[in-house]
Amino acid sequence: MALDDLAANETSGLVCAHHHLYSALAPGMPAPPRTPASFRDILELVWWRLDRALDLEMLEWSAKLGALEAIESGTTAIVDHHESPNAIEGSLDVIANACAEVGVRVNCSYGVTDRHGKESAQRGLEENRRYLASGGTGMVGVHAAFTCESDTLLAASELAQNYGVGVHIHVAEGTDDLQANDRLKDLSREDWLLVHGVHLEDDHGLNGCIVHNPRSNMNNSVGYAAPHRLGLPIALGTDGIGAAMLEEFRIAYARLREHDVAATPELPWSWLETGYRIIPEAVNDRVTWSHGPIDPWRLAFQTNIKPQLVEIDGEVVYTEGQLTRADAMEIRTKAAEQAQRLFAKLENMV
């Protein structure tokens, strides 16, 4: 990690290369109408119901809670992928402003999809355009190829090129998206984030950076991506399960080691460091940990290390267990209230 004067118990700020901050309210949510039997069921019965229930007030406190949890884990930068089909307009500003209030760097995108019809897809494209045109730090989001028509994928690609940014898209996470490489290979560019890639062929022909989310992949039972086989840079994300990137590194190593007994922690540690290609400013942030030295072999097996001090852009944003820019108790209280609103909507959803 790049700061020249790092002490033995310090690192640069960590980067979560794929998050869904709206999921911070999800713990404790009502059970789905029936038990999911497949990944497609998980999407339809859990996450696609949740995103339809979101409004901007829920989103504000969910983003603040997710940002708080990130800082408490030593993560200073988040690449967020958002969807709220009944609260599209202004949603990226809500996320960006919430993260700024807490102190976390964020790269925002709205996940365009044709699941809710062509008009909704156009509104998603417009939200990406509006946010980028206003100077927001972000990318153009796409949910996944299998939920988008070809003209929507092309429009998203062209919009990203117009603003000099990449596309942030789920790719071949489950078997419903097996055609992703054929549909995206003539569109993808080096600045795209290709999230998951579990079911990509080795010779997929895509350009971009793979974002590996090992815990989410296991939780959704979609399989092991073995991302190092895909021939592209690899970063680590959480897919919305918090932003504790040292924990995600450990899980990435354990899953890799199960796949290949000769693997070492240096490989998933390099995936963690790839996050600085996406948000390079985070390399100049500083996290002081409870003990050191910081090296992959120790961290792969040392689970009780915690941040003591977090500096972002030269400002101390966390010290002695407390945020300095926002009230953590207020955030947790307001987020809990919004979670109950969300859960009530889910209970009543048809």
pLDDT tens digits for 243-254? 999 999 999 999
- Residue 114 has which token pair? 């044709």
Q: Residue 45: inside a domain, yes or no?
A: yes
For residue 3, pLDDT over 60 is answered with: no
Q: Residue 188: inside a domain, yes or no?
A: yes
Q: Residue 18: inside a domain, yes or no?
A: yes
Structure confidence by residue, pLDDT tens digits, 158-182: 999 999 999 999 999 999 999 999 9
For residue 2, name the pLDDT band (cuts at 50, 70, 90). low
Q: 66 phi and psi, to 5 degrees?
A: -65, -40
Place of tokens 């307001």: 334
SS in 3 state form for the chain? Answer: CCCCCCCCCEECCEEEEEECHHHHHCCCCCCCCCCCCCHHHHHHHHHHHHHHHCCHHHHHHHHHHHHHHHHHCCEEEEEECECCCCCCCCHHHHHHHHHHHHCCEEEECEEECCCCCHHHHHHHHHHHHHHHHCCCCECEEEEEHHHCCHHHHHHHHHHHHHCCCCEEEEECCCHHHCCHHHHHCCCCCCCCEEEECCCCCCCCCCCCEEEECHHHHHHCCCCCCCHHHHCCCEEECCCCCCCCHHHHHHHHHHHHHHHCCCCCCHHHHHHHHCHHHHCHHHHHCEEEECCCCCCHHHHCCCCCCCEEEEEECCEEEEECCEECCCCHHHHHHHHHHHHHHHHHHHHHCC
pLDDT at 85: 98
Q: 170 phi and psi, to 5 degrees?
A: -75, 135
Q: Residue 78: inside a domain, yes or no?
A: yes
Averaged pLDDT for residues 148-166: 98
User: How many domains does one find in the chain?
Assistant: 1
For residue 149, pLDDT over 70 is answered with: yes
For residue 318, pLDDT over 90 is answered with: yes
Mean residue pLDDT of the chain comes to 97
pLDDT at 204: 97
What is the residue type of 45? L
For residue 6, name the pLDDT band (cuts at 50, 70, 90). confident
pLDDT at 34: 95
For residue 317, name the pLDDT band (cuts at 50, 70, 90). very high
Q: How many CB atoms sit inside 10 A of residue 32's CB?
A: 16
Angle at 278 between CA 275 and CA 280, to 5 degrees: 85
Q: What residues are paired with 309 via a beta bridge?
A: 288, 319
Q: Residue 173: inside a domain, yes or no?
A: yes
pLDDT at 4: 62
Q: Residue 73: inside a domain, yes or no?
A: yes
Q: 167 phi and psi, to 5 degrees?
A: -105, 135
Q: Residue 202: inside a domain, yes or no?
A: yes
Place of tokens 């901007």: 56
> Which residues does 82 contact at the CB level (< 8 Å), separation at least 6?
20, 21, 22, 59, 91, 92, 95, 108, 109, 110, 111, 141
Could you give the count of Cα atoms lying within 13 Å of 180 in the half-sphere of its Cβ? 29
Structure confidence by residue, pLDDT tens digits, 36-90: 999 999 999 999 999 999 999 999 999 999 999 999 999 999 999 999 999 999 9
- Asked whether 190 and 224 are in contact (CB, 8 A), the reply is no
In terms of residue numbers, what domain contains 284?
Answer: 10-348
- Asked whether 56 and 91 are in contact (CB, 8 A), the reply is yes
- Residue 211 has which token pair? 């974002």
For residue 273, pLDDT over 70 is answered with: yes
Query: Residue 220 and residue 209: Cα distance in Å, rounded?
Result: 22
- Asked whether 305 and 246 are in contact (CB, 8 A), the reply is yes
Q: What is the CATH number of the domain that holds 214?
A: 3.20.20.140
Q: What percent of the chain clears pLDDT 90, i.e. is strictly above it? A: 98
| Upstream peptide bond of 293 is cis (omega within 30 degrees of 0) | yes
Structure confidence by residue, pLDDT tens digits, 75-117: 999 999 999 999 999 999 999 999 999 999 999 999 999 999 9
Q: Residue 228: inside a domain, yes or no?
A: yes
Could you give the count of Cα atoms lying within 13 Å of 113 in the half-sphere of its Cβ? 20
